Structure 1
Amino acid sequence: MDLQRAKEQVIEYLFDESFPPIVLLSGEWGSGKTHFVKNYLMDAPPEEYRVSYISLYGISSIDDFRDRVLSNAYVQSEYRDKGQELYDGLKSSLNITGIVAKFFGDGGLTSGILNALGKPIKHSLLSRISKLILIVDDLERTSTEKLIGEVLGECLNLVEGNDNFRVVVVANEKHITNKDVLEKTFLNRTFLAVSSKDMMAFVDSEYKSLLCPITKAILSNSIDSLSLTNYRVLHRILHRYKLLKRKIDGQGNSEIDVIPSLSKLIEHITLVCNAHFVHGFSKDELLSRSQRSGFNNSLVKEADKDVSQESRKELFSKIMQSSFGQIENYLIYYCLDLSTIPDDFINLFGLSLKTDPVDKLLSFTYQNMNNEDFSQLVQYTKDQFLFIDTPKSIVKWARVLDTLVYFAQNEYIAETKKELISHARIKSNVEGFFRLEDSLNSYDISVRSFEDVEELYNERKKLVVKSSRAKGFSILQERLVESWEEVSNDIFKVYDHKPFLDAVDISVLVKGIVDNWTYNGVIVFGQFLAARYKSSTIYEYLIDEFDAVKSLESELDKCAKVMSESLKKGRIMELLRYLREAIEYIDNSEKQKLEK
């Protein structure tokens, strides 16, 4: 229902003398019920009526509810001018002059007075509220079903005992178990069904200058195609997009091709947020997704066992269709608040560059090309990027290879998947082929559509990280061998969530620990490792040094077995205890990853 029509219907119900003036405004989570109330209903009634809004969140008893109604009715600023008039009437009719007179001279009731007043006086005050429309929000968030019944019963009593008292109750009735109490209370209901037009009106109202005409059109098309009607999810989409746009705008005259990049981002953020927050697809389901290779049925959540795998797969394919190609894994983490914007966001989010033809291929803008231009773009990409022996980002290289394999699989190009990967493996097996990078997490390559591409990426990634970090780690290793105290501050600052042990010669480190390290250094190092691997995110961040930790434990264990009892052996045994605790966390992390 159009929001304007919904407003008119609620007002009609409230002032229809054929029925008690109490209306249920119902809608699903995120349908904009509170937004509708505050932006459409608050100013809607006749001038002589006031509107009072209360939320039931935190209400624990029917007395709490009555006090909140009284407080809003008599304290809110719109009614204070009538305070003295109200007080005079109360004094004459109730003959109360003591505590009420003491506190009531400003025209409002304070919470202290409400606590002091007895129930008979409160009931009398409630019955004398005039010309008021009370909006009661968050009914389903009330603490118990019993209290829901009591609140609705009180609302019905108020409207039936006072011709000038009207109530709108706002709720997601799907979350209220006792349907009978709803049937007994409400003869009139308005269900808030939001349209795409309403969603875009919200965008225009709350984010006036955020979108350009192109990105606004893309968002509107996405909302239409996804049937997205959840305001909260839309707000999240626009907030995530706003932060990224600010980051891009802050780049100044950078190499980013802004409009194609923003167009891609607004669509991909919308797809991810809709899939996760509306349809409940988990992080792992989203990371396993692919428009190219299909959906991983093994990741269907426990909560969805009543939904067939096939129908869930069909839903996933339907709602993840993109006009701009594959969605980057880093962007998925960002949309789900699992990471901040990375420093290398241009590359990791797959943004288009002004002067790089390869980005046209990655951003799927080739779709509007003719055959000749497309063929030239593919050939340029192979000759000047994929197979040429010049330093390049391994992440971008893997994404390009994956895209060309996709082309081969779908017969856009003549080469086969096997030919492309074989050629890429040969060409990339030379020093200097990739730009050195000392931190590449397991999800840096987002495509993962083709296992052969991911396998080759992981092979080359290890070499890239090892070569890159070997340059910077030679000095670090020398200091580490001397003592933990010598290097611990740098480790805490730089490598708290980044691997470093995999770039260290373990046999050299073991000799340094045994021969050079102090007791305090050994113990603090052990505690550091045990705490380091306790985190639930170690697989994503520290997988590259898992083997190094296990190797360190093994080598130290060998040393300890040939040592006689001594202070030196004692501290090694304590370090081994911490290492085995760390390895237990590592094993659990690897097990959980396999189970997924």
Structure 2
Amino acid sequence: MNSQEYISEPNKHIEEYLDYYFSGSKKLEYAVLLNGEWGSGKTWFVKKYIEKQKKQGKKVSYISLNGLSKTADIDDAIFKSIHPVLASKQAKLAGQVLKGALKATLKIDLDEDSKDDGSVGISVPDIKLPDYLKINDKFILVFDDLERCELKIEETLGYINYFVEQENIKVLIVSNDTEIKESDHFLRKKEKLIGATFNYTEDQELAIRSILEEISSSDLKDKLISKILFITEIFNKIAYKNLRAFKQTIFDFERFYRKDIFEWKGDFDQDIFEKLLKSFLILSIENKKGRFDKEILRFKKDEYEGKNAKDNSEKVILKIMCGINSRDSEDFMNKYNLGLNEFIISPNLWNEILNLNIIDKSKIEEELYEVYFRFKEEQPTWLKLMNFLDLDECEFDELVELAKEEVENHQLENPSDILHTISILIYLKENQLISFSLDHLLPIAIADWKKFIEVNEKMRRIYDHSFVEYSGHYGFIAKEIPQFSDFMKDIVKAYEDKYSEKDATRASELIDLMENNSQLFIQRISLTNREENYYYNYPIMKEVNAQVFANKLCMIKQSDCMSSLYGLSHRYSIQASFNMYIEEKSWFNQVEDYIKTNILPTANKITKARINLRILPEISKIKEDAEK
């Protein structure tokens, strides 16, 4: 055997011994124990070795002892492994379950009556089994996860010993002995059963390569294999030696990967691919370790003692830019020598991707452009000013004047640029590096920000606290300065104002939906699990003209009318941190009064019947239920 034929070069001595142990029919009367830490790759090694044995004509039964609590459970697992057809429910439905004497005396409850049915024979008169299914000198038993078996360890070893002593079956046991509490009884059983013990040496690069080889996309597979040293370095930096977690992360990245999101003007951007790959590996595996506080990149909120708005030292500025605001966050950023902006996309979006399993391609592309691709054209003035300590005085003054003019002349069209420009100017003013007043710039910036910010229909207010700390993955350098805090309060208010400015349009759309799509009307105003529940906690109905609503309710088809009323009933039945009925009670009463006093007296007999028999009773019921 040359070195290229070994599964793992550092563990070739193990493979050579197993080849000797499993070859021929010599009665050795002992089992082999392979130890290795969780996530070291030992199970991967064993399964690769099993594949080689099967190619040589061996019949292998691989059993994970994880969670098994009775010897009958192990019997069942072995039987199903050896005879998957006989163990299937289809075989049980064939009529007569054939019973006899199994050479290894495996007692199986085939009737599912919790009573042993005796022994199932390996040769059955009515079913001729292929020779390769019979237990003979080519049969191998592999027991994995010994330390995770719920039986007493000595009882498990005694059970396994039967196969070795009585049936001359070759057995490999795989375990993590650091998790096993050794007792005198255990040591005696182990000494009797185990004839050779090996410790698996982690062959990290090979294990990682084997995982990457399982990727379906040849394009992504080639890209990742070409960066295997880069990936291995990150894996070691994370220091979570769990290949299962790594494998899951790689498959998650495969699901995340879309070649075109890494392209800019038709060319694949290798730099952003590597940055996102690095971020994905770090955040995903750290998250699996339980590193974060419920959400990705959310840290414990202990107060960072070194913050000082008056301090313009490079160290403090860098911490602010990196999004460091606590010891916990600083420890994490220092571990990887990364700032918040170097994780590329926002914590909220990372949380969607890694915790909620939502891959929204449009959001990802939008954020990648905002924080990376647009900067490939030209760095904004504010970002150049962030490095003011490295600028000469002339260059500094030119950039300050340019930033001032960009605000005054309404040249900033990106909301993030507007906020960061004001932030850096306030910081420089606070630290007496500029002398002109900023008072006239703030209203201009607020108006321009309001003009260019896009309103999210489901978000009438900005609740995210991080909004006032950073934007575009760069922390606001002035976030601790009162003038900037007041400016951001005005910014938040500007968003609320812009949101409410569309209320008349929203009200008009709701009126149309009552007739044209009453189900969507229900979803818009009710608390449901649908994305269209825009206004369930927003008193939008107060913006709807009560008379117009009442007329529409009495005019549309009966089914649409009742659907609309059902939507209001569901809306007002929710008792949470908000109570829409209290908010809209006056409006709802106006609707009822207008129907009674203006529509009902002049309506034709059919409309009157609808109002008296359906509409008004339902309105009364809604009020009664809401006021309980």
**What range is the shorter-chain TM-score in?**
0.5 to 0.7
* Counterpart selection for 1:438 from 456, 459, 463: 456
Q: Does 1:237 align with 2:249?
A: yes
* Counterpart selection for 1:353 from 355, 368, 373: 373
Contact 2:407–2:441, Cα closer than 8 Å, also in 1 = no
Q: Does 1:271 align with 2:282?
A: yes
Q: How does 1:43-122 map to 2 (within 5 A)?
A: 43=52, 51-56=60-65, 61-70=70-79, 72-73=81-82, 100-107=124-131
Structure 2 distance, partners of 1:178, 1:362, is 64
Q: Does 1:135 align with 2:142?
A: yes
Q: CA deviation at 1:225?
A: 2.2
Give the 3 Å change call, closer, same or farther, for CA 193–476 of structure 1 in structure 2.
farther
Structure 2 distance, partners of 1:345, 1:414, is 38
Q: Which residue of 2 aligns with 1:525?
A: 567
Give the residue type in structure 1 aligned to 2:410: D
- Identity, % of aligned positions: 13
Q: How does 1:120-519 map to 2 (within 5 A)?
A: 129-139=136-146, 142=149, 144-145=150-151, 150-170=155-175, 174=179, 183=187, 185-186=189-190, 190=198, 194=202, 197-198=205-206, 200-202=208-210, 204-207=212-215, 209-210=219-220, 211=223, 218-246=230-258, 248-249=259-260, 254=265, 258-284=269-295, 286-288=297-299, 292=320, 294=324, 316-319=332-335, 321-322=337-338, 325=342, 328-329=346-347, 330-349=349-368, 351-353=371-373, 356-357=376-377, 382=403, 389=410, 392-394=413-415, 396-397=416-417, 400=420, 426-430=444-448, 433-439=451-457, 442=463, 445=467, 447=470, 460=491, 463-464=494-495, 467=498, 470=501, 474-481=504-511, 484-491=514-521, 496-497=530-531, 499-500=534-535, 502=538, 504=540, 506-508=542-544, 517=553
Contact 1:52–1:72, Cα closer than 8 Å, also in 2 = yes
Structure 1 distance, partners of 2:285, 2:147, is 24
Give the residue type in structure 2 aligned to 1:101: P
Structure 1 distance, partners of 2:355, 2:439, is 33
Structure 2 distance, partners of 1:338, 1:419, is 48
Structure 1 distance, partners of 2:420, 2:438, is 11
Contact 2:59–2:132, Cα closer than 8 Å, also in 1 = no
Q: CA deviation at 1:61?
A: 3.9
Q: CA deviation at 1:265?
A: 0.9
Write out per-residue CA displacement over residues 498-550 of structure 1, whole angstroms, 9 at most, x where no aligned residue: 5346494625356656675467245421355379999xxxxxxxxxxx87947
Bigger shift: residues 339-348 or 570-579: 570-579
Contact 1:53–1:134, Cα closer than 8 Å, also in 2 = yes
Contact 1:529–1:579, Cα closer than 8 Å, also in 2 = no
**RMSD over aligned Cα atoms:** 5.7
Q: How does 1:36-47 map to 2 (within 5 A)?
A: 36-40=45-49, 42-43=51-52
User: Secondary structure of the equivalent of 2:30?
Assistant: coil
User: Secondary structure of the equivalent of 2:244?
Assistant: helix
Give the 3 Å change call, closer, same or farther, for CA 65–281 of structure 1 in structure 2.
same
Structure 1 distance, partners of 2:231, 2:426, is 27
TM-score in terms of structure 1 length: 0.63
Q: Which residue of 2 aligns with 1:20?
A: 30
Q: CA deviation at 1:162?
A: 4.7
Q: CA deviation at 1:277?
A: 0.3
Q: CA deviation at 1:233?
A: 2.7
Structure 2 distance, partners of 1:493, 1:195, is 55
User: Secondary structure of the equivalent of 1:287?
Assistant: coil
Give the 3 Å change call, closer, same or farther, for CA 98–58 of structure 1 in structure 2.
closer
Structure 2 distance, partners of 1:277, 1:407, is 38
Contact 1:257–1:354, Cα closer than 8 Å, also in 2 = no
Structure 2 distance, partners of 1:98, 1:199, is 37
> For the pair shown, which has the larger CA radius of gyration, 1 or 2?
2
Give the 3 Å change call, closer, same or farther, for CA 41–569 of structure 1 in structure 2.
same
Contact 2:140–2:170, Cα closer than 8 Å, also in 1 = yes
User: Secondary structure of the equivalent of 2:130?
Assistant: coil
Q: CA deviation at 1:11?
A: 5.8
Give the residue type in structure 1 aligned to 2:142: I
Give the 3 Å change call, closer, same or farther, for CA 524–72 of structure 1 in structure 2.
same
Contact 1:556–1:572, Cα closer than 8 Å, also in 2 = no
Contact 1:25–1:170, Cα closer than 8 Å, also in 2 = yes
Structure 2 distance, partners of 1:75, 1:157, is 23
List runs of 5+ in structure 2 lacking aligned partners: 1-6, 22-26, 86-101, 104-119, 302-318, 555-560, 597-611
Q: As a proportion of its length, which structure holds more helix?
A: 1
List runs of 5+ in structure 1 lacking aligned partners: 77-88, 91-95, 110-124, 297-309, 535-545, 582-596
Give the residue type in structure 1 aligned to 2:140: I
Aligned length: 510
Q: CA deviation at 1:275?
A: 1.9
Q: CA deviation at 1:165?
A: 1.4
Structure 2 distance, partners of 1:98, 1:275, is 49
Contact 2:541–2:587, Cα closer than 8 Å, also in 1 = no
Structure 2 distance, partners of 1:363, 1:36, is 50
Structure 2 distance, partners of 1:261, 1:172, is 43
Structure 2 distance, partners of 1:131, 1:314, is 58
User: Secondary structure of the equivalent of 1:263?
Assistant: helix
Q: Which residue of 2 aligns with 1:119?
A: none
